[in-house]
Structure 1
Amino acid sequence: MQQTREINALFTLIDDPDEEVYATISEKLVGYGKGIIPNLEHLWETTLNEDIQERIEMIIHRLHYGDLVHDLCEWRDSAYHDLLFGALLVCKFQYPDLHTTPVLQDIEKIRRNVWLELNSFLTPLEQANVLSSIMYNYYNLKGIETQYNNPDDFFLHKVLEAKKGNALSNGILYQVMCEQLEINARIINIPQQCIIAFYHSDYDPATYKGPIQDKIHFFVDGTSGQAFSHADIENYFKRSSVEPSQAYFKPKSHKRIIQLLLSELSKCFTRPSNEYKQQELLSLAELLDQ
């Protein structure tokens, strides 16, 4: 890199005990952009002091985070908010060096296996049964209770790797499959659940003005792929003492799904040492409102 002398001078001050001095040094280093990361990684490898290593790790994290903010803003401002790409951006919060090609290959394998079993004569319920059978039986995807002690449960590439995910991550994968297979099914807004509604082929949320339930064939639980009837959903509302609303049956936009994923993921970082990650994730979620 250019300005190597200045960078080396800044490196010698990373261990300064004065927090204000360190803050100034870290800001200058972050200002060099991602190109400085190899230098920082080399410094980390040749440093024995754990406190200095932590400071280096934080500077590297800030550099990756700045890139993620830029990429997420580009995704937000694009004409089409690709759900899979948005979910992979969330993965890069914790895994900034993630190579997406293996993930896309895994998803393509599942899509192709489902596609081979589909034909134009199947009913929507039969389509759902094929998709659920491939994902949850043949591919052995497991649904687990949503907990906040393992962030990997929210990262799509880790869900594919471990073949287990919570309701939201499995639901996102299910919707991605539906979109790639041109099945009109979307995650909806039912509180505390990740439910996918299978809509009539002519349903367009931008133009349809009648009762949305009339345009829904049935529902699928994103956790397990199990199908639910309208009566099942009505019973859920009764048990939860929640008044059904038309808004609950509208499809969530891709931006809102990714916003929810960021918000839920932030709940995994409540320890004092990780609170900065929680705030960063909530800031990323807020970016999608702008």
Structure 2
Amino acid sequence: MEETREISALFHLIDDPDAEVFSTVSDKIISMGANIIPNLEHLWETTPDESVQERIELLIHRLHYCDLTQEFNRWKKMPEPDLLGGALLVAKFQYPDLDLSQVLQDIEKMRRNIWLELNSYLTPLEQTNVLTTILYNYYNLKGTEINYGEPNGFLLNKVLESKNGNSISNGILYLILADLLDIPIRAIPIPRQFILAYFDVEPGQWEQLPSNPSSLIQFYIDPMSGQVFTQKDVETYFRRISVPATASFFRPYSNLRIIQLLLEEFAKCFEDDKQLYKFEELMQLSALLGEE
């Protein structure tokens, strides 16, 4: 954006010690939109004062966040919000300049490698074993316990880079590939877990599931390792945690709900005082997805 007298005057006030003045200046700069980001970046590069640099960084973040909120709104209003698109929007919260083409290229390579090993004669378990073997053995995807000190563990782009994610991020990658390959695997809300299930459901029939679809589940998959579990294993788990296995635990999550969960868990990485604003922003995005 061309630097006008107004922009120059606003930039001179960024270091004003009066919080009310800075708040007014911030709101005015934010109202100018993302086009002013290059000007702010140049100002950051030419400013020696670290406290002023921090204020500039916060302004740039707020501008990216405004754009991201609009992108989430558009994604939410799509006829069928896709999991890949939602996961990439979450990644853009932390990496606003994310190279989407690289992520899409990596996903396509994985999809193609799995697709080459699939055929119409494979059983559901054999199909799943192909996906699992290539993802966890060929690509060496690893699962680690959720660690709120490691924000990158929640982000799809970083999971693809490091081949290391937690149950939610690994599960999202697994679900994206299964969807691209027309393998009927969905995440289900079993308590205290992020577990995937293979449903005996034809494409286009997801809206006609019975009230208790557990009878349609052939087996379960742990996205930490790709290990398969039986219905008996799941029943044993429910007895161990002393929770009745009600029908609601076997109904698939929507893509919207999965991204909400991802935002809520990712937000917990920013609960310290200095980054609390990020926690609040991520929870606002989650709430946005829940609004009718």
CA distance in 2, matches of 1:211, 1:54: 52
CA deviations on 1:86-134 (whole Å, 9 max, x unpaired) are 0000000000000110101111111111101110000000011111000
Segment of structure 1 superposing worse, 1-10 or 213-222? 1-10
CA distance in 1, matches of 2:243, 2:114: 36
Structure 1 residues 8, 242: closer, same or farther in 2, change over 3 A? Answer: same
Secondary structure at the counterpart of residue 267 of structure 1? helix
Contact 2:211–2:247 (CA under 8 A) maintained in structure 1: no
Does residue 213 of structure 1 match 2:214? yes
Secondary structure at the counterpart of residue 193 of structure 1? coil
Secondary structure at the counterpart of residue 14 of structure 2? coil
CA distance in 2, matches of 1:123, 1:160: 28
CA distance in 1, matches of 2:86, 2:211: 31
Would you say how many aligned residue pairs link Structure 1 and Structure 2? Answer: 290
Secondary structure at the counterpart of residue 118 of structure 1? coil
CA distance in 1, matches of 2:3, 2:134: 55
Structure 1 residues 8, 210: closer, same or farther in 2, change over 3 A? Answer: closer
CA distance in 1, matches of 2:278, 2:201: 41
Secondary structure at the counterpart of residue 290 of structure 2? coil
Which consecutive aligned stretches of 4+ in structure 1 deviate over 4 angstroms post-superposition?
Answer: none
Secondary structure at the counterpart of residue 187 of structure 1? strand
Could you say which residue in structure 1 is the equivalent of 2:277?
276
Q: What is the CA RMSD across the aligned residues, in angstroms?
A: 1.1
Structure 1 residues 68, 210: closer, same or farther in 2, change over 3 A? Answer: closer
Could you say which residue in structure 2 is the equivalent of 1:260?
261
Could you say which residue in structure 2 is the equivalent of 1:152?
152
C-alpha displacement of 1:201? 3.0
C-alpha displacement of 1:270? 1.1
Secondary structure at the counterpart of residue 149 of structure 1? coil
Could you say which residue in structure 2 is the equivalent of 1:82?
82
CA distance in 1, matches of 2:190, 2:166: 16
CA deviations on 1:164-187 (whole Å, 9 max, x unpaired) are 000000000000011000001101
What is the correspondence of 1:138-217 to structure 2 with a 5 Å cutoff? Answer: 138-202=138-202, 204-209=205-210, 211-217=212-218
Percent of pairs with identical residues: 54
CA distance in 1, matches of 2:104, 2:11: 39
Secondary structure at the counterpart of residue 198 of structure 2? strand
Secondary structure at the counterpart of residue 120 of structure 1? coil
Contact 1:262–1:282 (CA under 8 A) maintained in structure 2: yes
Where structure 1 has 5 or more consecutive residues not aligned to the other structure, the ranges are none
The letter for the 2-side match of 1:193 is Q
CA distance in 2, matches of 1:217, 1:163: 28
Structure 1 residues 132, 249: closer, same or farther in 2, change over 3 A? Answer: same
C-alpha displacement of 1:210? 5.5
C-alpha displacement of 1:209? 2.4
Contact 1:197–1:218 (CA under 8 A) maintained in structure 2: yes
Contact 2:212–2:250 (CA under 8 A) maintained in structure 1: no
Could you say which residue in structure 1 is the equivalent of 2:45?
45
Contact 1:205–1:250 (CA under 8 A) maintained in structure 2: no
TM-score, normalisation: structure 2: 0.97
TM-score, normalisation: structure 1: 0.98
Contact 1:194–1:223 (CA under 8 A) maintained in structure 2: no
Structure 1 residues 30, 121: closer, same or farther in 2, change over 3 A? Answer: same
